[in-house]
Each structure stands twice: as C-alpha cells, then as structure tokens.
C-alpha cells in the first residue's frame, strides 16, 4: 500500500509520523523528451516502511521533505542514482546529504556491474517485480493504478537491500570504498550543473585535426551546452554531432548558407542561429588554444602499452572479485597514458590498489 501526496498538509503529516528517521528509500520518475533538463514527475519515498508517492508537479517541488533528503545525518537509499540526482537537483538544490547507492554496492559485493533494480531484488529478496511501466508517461494526470503500483514497488525493497548489502560490504571491508564512490556520485551531480569543460575529447574522429580546428570544435560544443541550457532544449535540437563536425570542417560562407544547412534542426532559430554563425566564424582568441587535445588513435606500440595497463586492471579485479569496469574504465587508462597525470576518477581506494602497477607500465 502507498499514500498519494499532492499537497502540503499530507506531506507534513507523513513527516510527522516518522520524526527523526535516519534511513529514507528514494526513487524518481522523470521525463526528458523535448527538454534539456529532466522534468521531475514523481518522487517515491519509503519512510519507516510507509510508502509515499509525492507529486512534485502539484507541489511545485518536494516541499518539506527536501531538507530531510539534504540532511547529512539521513542516509538516502537509491538504486543507480545518477540520473535521479540530476532530476532532483531543482527540488533539492543543496543536493542529497548522504547517499547509499544499491547498484554500486551490488557491484562491490560480487553481484555484477550495472545490475538492474529488478534483478537485484530478485537476487536478494527473491521477489519478481513487473517491468510494464518503464516507458510510461509520468507527467500525465491522473496516473493509472498500474503506474502507481509500479512506482511504489521501486522503493518497497530499498531498506532490505540497504541492510543486506551493507552487511556484505562490512564483511568484505569495503564500506569505506562504497561511501567514497557514493560521495563521488554526489559531487559529479553537482558538477553536472556546469557541464563538461572539455567536451571535444569525446570526439575521437577529430583526433588528427589541427589544433585550431579542435579548438573551434570545443568552442561550438561549449556554445551548444550553454545554449541548450538557456533554451531548455535537447542538445541535438540545436546542433547535432554530425552538423558540429561538418560546420567546423566546412564553415558556412554566410548566414544564408548556415540557414540552408540547418533546416532540420528544430530548436535552432533566429537569435540562436545568429549566435552559432558568430561562433563558427569569429577568429579564435589565443586563450582558446589552451585546452586538452583529443586523445590520438593509438599506435601499435601505444596499443600494447594500454593493453598491458588493462591487464593490470583485470588481474586486480579478478583477485578482488570486482568488475573491471568498476575498478577502472578504459578512458581513465587513456587519460593516464596520454596526459601523464593520475585521473581524478582513480583517486582514493583505486589509487591505493592501482597506482604503482599502472605507473610502472607508462615507460614500457
């Protein structure tokens, strides 16, 4: 059973029934079809075993429960929280105070990387959950009984998962590792509000471009990020990756040429199109040439070195019964190899395990 909350009084009554609660199960439903920002459509909460479905559309936020979620003395239990944290950001501007992510805990305790909530509940609680509403329209009102039942199930088992996975983490001595990764996830959610400062590094096809072209690609991608946020439209609606690459390689001759080549971009209109023309044609400032270049396609020798580093990761992961992708992603090995700096993502417990062995491979 669950309670539906779409006004302040029942929300306050819910909180009054559970004073001093230090463990909160939380999930969200959100929509992101025609907007840059995810639209929070529902927040499911498990407080002391009581399930509440909170309507942030009617409440215009999460009301008095937002400070509870932001309280560092309260552990908020979520599964695969990264996208939910983004959706929650406007309603919980201070961010979640203390997070326990059950998907990360499952990976650290040998249950597998990227395990779905349904599979984790089946593995630990022996319960098969429905998947019928995964692509539902959560912004429609009223929500159907099937939608509400599905949403409630997403938090029913979080407390039990927290207790069981916490015990397994303690038995393996990995509670601190898990806490560190959860803090990293919260920090990443806060940084996401500013966007990626080096978006060009994701375009490996441009690795051989001259530095000036890479700098202009970076300028276009930074503009796209800022403009999409201002317009609250998906990035590809302004300019998709294919157009970005094409425009940098073959800049438009004039505004008419840009117009003709962007007819299919549904959010690129008027002022934004004029901005893009300036971005594509204005001379580069010398400061814009100070950026991180795109990783080159590795030579055979570099491939062997990266493979040797990957072997170190695989051997360590096997020894610890950890997924190698949890321990160290390939992109972090590339950062270490090509930039000759230890990646921020490998600080903490990963550095203790990997630093000496990986650094020793740099000069092989």
Residue 268: inside a domain, yes or no? yes
- Kindly report the CATH number assigned to the domain that includes residue 282: 1.10.150.80
- Kindly report the CATH number assigned to the domain that includes residue 41: 3.30.420.10
Residue 294: inside a domain, yes or no? no
What pLDDT, on a 0 to 100 scale, did the predictor assign at position 211? Answer: 95
**Given a cut of 80, is residue 192 above it in pLDDT?**
no
Residues 15 and 123 grouped into a single domain:
yes
Cα 126 from Cα 267, distance rounded (Å): 47
Residue-wise pLDDT tens digits, 75-131: 999 999 999 999 999 999 989 999 999 999 999 999 999 999 999 999 999 999 977
Outline where 173-299 has alpha helix (H): 175-192, 211-231, 235-238, 241-249, 255-261, 270-281
Residues 248 and 347 grouped into a single domain:
no
Residues 111 and 243 grouped into a single domain:
no
**Given a cut of 70, is residue 134 above it in pLDDT?**
no
Query: Considering the entire predicted model, what is its pTM?
Result: 0.92
Report how many domains make up the chain. 3
Residues 155 and 240 grouped into a single domain:
no
Instruction: Identify the domain containing residue 273 by its residue range.
Output: 199-289
Residues 248 and 326 grouped into a single domain:
no
Residue 295: inside a domain, yes or no? no
Residue 273: inside a domain, yes or no? yes
Phi, psi of 38 (to 5 degrees): -65, 140
Tokens of 105: 């805990």
Domain end residue (candidates: 132, 160, 192):
192
Residues 31 and 72 grouped into a single domain:
yes
What is the average per-residue pLDDT within 140-155?
A: 94
């Amino acid at each position: 059973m669950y309670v539906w909350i779409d006004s302040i009084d029942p929300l306050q009554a819910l909180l009054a029934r559970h004073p001093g609660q230090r463990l909160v199960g939380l999930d969200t439903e959100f929509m992101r079809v025609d907007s840059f920002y995810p639209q929070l459509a529902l927040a499911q909460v498990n407080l002391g075993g009581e399930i509440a479905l909170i309507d942030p559309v009617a409440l215009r936020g999460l009301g008095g429960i937002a400070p509870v979620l932001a309280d560092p003395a309260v552990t908020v239990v979520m599964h695969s929280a990264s996208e939910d944290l983004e959706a929650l950001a406007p309603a919980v501007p201070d961010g979640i105070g203390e997070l326990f992510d059950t998907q990360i805990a499952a990976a650290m305790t040998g249950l597998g990387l990227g395990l779905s909530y349904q599979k984790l509940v089946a593995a630990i609680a022996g319960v098969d959950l429905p998947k019928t509403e995964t692509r539902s329209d959560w912004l429609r009102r009223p929500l159907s009984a099937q939608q509400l039942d599905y949403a409630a199930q997403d938090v029913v088992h979080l407390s039990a998962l927290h207790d069981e996975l916490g015990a397994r983490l303690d038995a393996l001595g990995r509670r601190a590792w898990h806490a560190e990764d959860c803090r990293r996830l919260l920090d990443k959610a806060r940084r996401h509000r500013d966007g990626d400062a080096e978006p060009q590094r994701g375009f490996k096809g441009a690795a051989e471009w001259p530095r000036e072209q890479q700098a202009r690609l970076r300028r276009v991608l930074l503009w796209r990020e800022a403009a999409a946020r201002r317009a609250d439209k998906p990035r590809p609606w302004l300019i998709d990756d294919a157009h970005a690459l094409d425009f940098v390689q073959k800049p438009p001759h004039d505004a008419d040429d840009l117009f003709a080549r962007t007819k299919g971009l549904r959010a690129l209109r008027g002022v934004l199109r004029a901005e893009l023309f300036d971005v594509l044609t204005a001379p580069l400032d010398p400061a814009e040439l100070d950026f991180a270049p795109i990783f080159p396609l590795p030579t055979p020798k570099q491939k062997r070195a990266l493979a040797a580093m990957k072997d170190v990761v695989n051997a360590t992961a096997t020894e610890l019964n950890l997924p190698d992708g949890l321990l160290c992603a390939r992109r972090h090995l590339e950062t270490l190899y090509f930039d000759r700096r230890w990646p921020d993502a490998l600080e903490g417990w990963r550095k203790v395990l990997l630093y000496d062995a990986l650094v020793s491979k740099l000069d092989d």
